[in-house]
A = this chain, B = another copy of it.
């Protein structure tokens, strides 16, 4: 289910860059953090937000935790936007037909 918190996960500049990097290649927390100016715990917290939103998933590898993009989560957002787009299209076509009353309160 795609909702406000799913979008909130990508609403931060750093989380945005995190998911971009993970889309290129799955990475450990430390290796990910090395690309940023913020602390490693901050990255951990961002990853939790992304994880809770279902946009990334973890795999344990020894002492390291490898994060990767959860493609299903991305697909769900796409579907959500598809619906929005289609609805808006239908509403537009509808408004074009009945030009007289654009808005019935």
Contacts and interface: CB of A to CB of B under 8 A. Distances in A.
Count identical subunits in the complex. Answer: 2
Q: What is the interface of chain A mostly: helix, strand, loop, or mixed?
A: helix
A91 interface: yes
A12 B82 CA distance: 19
A23 B87 contact: yes
A71 interface: yes
Nearest to A82: B78
Given A24-B91, A74-B81, A103 B66 contact: yes
A49 B68 CA distance: 31
Contacts of A47: none
Contacts of A97: none
